[in-house]
Amino acid sequence: MALSAFAPNASAADRPNVVVLMTDDQTVADLAAMPRARALLGREGVGFDRSYVSYPVCCPSRATFLSGQYAHNHGVLGLYAPTGGYARFNHANSLPLWLQQAGYATAHIGKYMNGYHLGIGAEQPPGWSEWYGAVDSSTYLMWGYTLVENGVAHTYGTPLEEDPRLYQTDVYRDKAVDFIRRRAPSSQPFFLSVAFLAPHHESGPLRSITGRLVRPAPRDARAYARARLPTPPGFAERDRSDKPRFVRERRPLSAAAIAGVRRQFRDRRASLRSVDDAVAAIVAALRRSGELDDTYVILTSDNGYMLGEHGVPNGKLLPYDPSTRVPLLIRGPGIPAGAVSHELVANTDLAPTITAVAGAVPGRVPDGRSLLPFARDPRLRSTRPLLHETGGWRYLRRRDQDAAGPPALRRVLTYNAVRTRRWLYVEYRDGERELYDLRRDPHELRSLHADPRKRALVRLLSATVRRLARCSGESCQTTSPSSLLH
């Protein structure tokens, strides 16, 4: 089958299936814990090694996946109402509905958006033929979680009884395999979205009982017990004089804090082994059913995660590489095996890619673009800049499920940033700035924002930030001037 996009009027039976596997808080480095995913998707497809999310926290990022738009256009600016969450998103105009209208059977399994709870009833968002949505706050439990299954709530076990048969990742895996088995005999193409919690931590109250931020499957509990904590340049960074105040004024990481980071690192990696099992099982189900050669499989994450970089013990939301860069592996018809693309891509590109594959017509003007040309020819390059943005976010005294740092900060963290192939430039609402030369300083250790030799560059990047912060559709695709690239 050719890789080119399908015409909207093509027969549904001639269109490929699409499977999206999304993890939660996974970094690119965390792929080390997933050898089968690397083999089955990376070595059999293309890896994008410069894949970023525009808003590095759960709900806004997932809304971008479902819309192809930046947060300033889809309107989900946080985790909960009134500025964010499930109720803020327009589900009646999103990716699954566009695919249904193109003739696809659609299914979602697992985490969806913050604020999807039983208080709104056993609601099934439009566009999903089958629905197995995780219910807050049980979304953040590996045992004792509740799924709304096609309108009926079902709870799996209890939080403290670690029944191996009911481990959340494995249940999601089995539901995905069952969906593929049931759908394969039909000539109707399908879209399957599976959203794993791993390697995200569990709910706060439970952590105080178990003593663990992340609970791997019992079979994997000791898999990384002796693993060495990576300490890249910038880990426990002491000289943060160039950083914004909320990073600059943090206390240096203590030995106890580093020990906590080490424990979390080990459990996060161990939790991904079951996701790796799930990837292998889903690919095997596609192969058994005869659908693998006619299916695009995409693996990515909603955001990255920080573990000690720049002195931040854990979290996301920040504009730095560990927080914003995510895995992106794609295999499918016409995609060369074992290829790597160095193109700068974003999660705004996922919905346009999937609609192009499916021959579906988006109901929104996408801010991203299809990645099919870059998957087909990984040597292709463009000069498109990317926007990072946050808004409506406040650190609360209560530690939130998706907080990006200690609750004691209790400061508004709102910024707009532009990323090019060479530069990362950040403007915070309180007036602070950062500028990194990613070619010479890939770990973002020395901000050049105050360097008088960079004034002209800062003016140019600042104008680019202002433009992207208001962009929509084609205006988000404007390429960078050459002076921003070299």
Residue 148 β-bridge partners: 133, 153
- Token pair in block for residue 377: 């020819």
- Token pair in block for residue 134: 């995780």
- Token pair in block for residue 425: 């430039």
195-214: burial string, b at 16+ Cβ within 10 Å, e else: bbbbbbbbbeebbeeeebbb
What's the rounded Cα separation, in Å, for the pair 167 and 433?
Answer: 44
Predicted confidence at residue 209, as pLDDT, reads 86
Closest CA to 114 of 92, 151, 72, 83: 83
Using pLDDT thresholds of 50, 70 and 90, give the confidence band for residue 232: very high
Predicted confidence at residue 482, as pLDDT, reads 77
Share of the chain above pLDDT 70, in %: 93
Predicted confidence at residue 121, as pLDDT, reads 73
Alpha carbon distance, N-terminus to C-terminus of the chain: 38
Helix (H) or strand (E) holding 169, with range, is helix 168-183
Predicted confidence at residue 158, as pLDDT, reads 96
- Token pair in block for residue 85: 């969450």
Coil vs helix vs strand at 434: strand
Q: Is the model's pTM score more than 0.85?
A: yes
Closest CA to 70 of 479, 474, 482, 469: 469
What's the rounded Cα separation, in Å, for the pair 119 and 135?
Answer: 10
Annotate 406-419 with three-state secondary structure: CHHHCCECCEEEEE
Mean pLDDT (the chain) is 93
Coil vs helix vs strand at 468: helix
Domains along the chain?
13-373 (3.40.720.10), 388-484 (3.30.1120)
On the CB side of 428, CA atoms within 13 Å amount to 19
Q: How far is CA 207 from CA 229, 316, 397, in A?
A: 21, 19, 17
Bridge-based pairing of strands 345-346 and 152-156 is: unpaired
Bridge-based pairing of strands 386-389 and 130-134 is: unpaired
Using pLDDT thresholds of 50, 70 and 90, give the confidence band for residue 409: very low
Share of the chain above pLDDT 90, in %: 84
Q: How far is CA 39 from CA 44, 157, 256, 300, 330, in A?
A: 7, 33, 37, 15, 12
Predicted confidence at residue 3, as pLDDT, reads 38
Predicted confidence at residue 210, as pLDDT, reads 85
| pLDDT score of 404 more than 70 | no
Coil vs helix vs strand at 86: helix
Give the distance, in angstroms, between the CA of residue 302 and the centroid of all CA atoms in the same chain: 2
pLDDT tens for 84-118 read: 999 999 999 999 999 999 999 999 999 999 999 88
| pLDDT score of 402 more than 70 | no
What's the rounded Cα separation, in Å, for the pair 173 and 182?
Answer: 14
pLDDT tens for 247-301 read: 999 999 999 999 999 999 999 999 999 999 999 999 999 999 999 999 999 999 9
Predicted confidence at residue 120, as pLDDT, reads 75
Predicted confidence at residue 400, as pLDDT, reads 47
Predicted confidence at residue 2, as pLDDT, reads 37
- Stretch 316-339: mean pLDDT, rounded? 98
Long-range CB contact pairs, 146-153, < 8 A, 24+: 146/118, 148/118, 148/122, 148/123, 148/124, 150/124, 151/122, 151/124, 152/122, 153/118, 153/122
Contacts of residue 269, defined as CB under 8 A and 6 or more positions apart, other chains included, come to 30, 32, 33, 199, 223, 224, 227
| pLDDT score of 412 more than 80 | no
Using pLDDT thresholds of 50, 70 and 90, give the confidence band for residue 456: very high
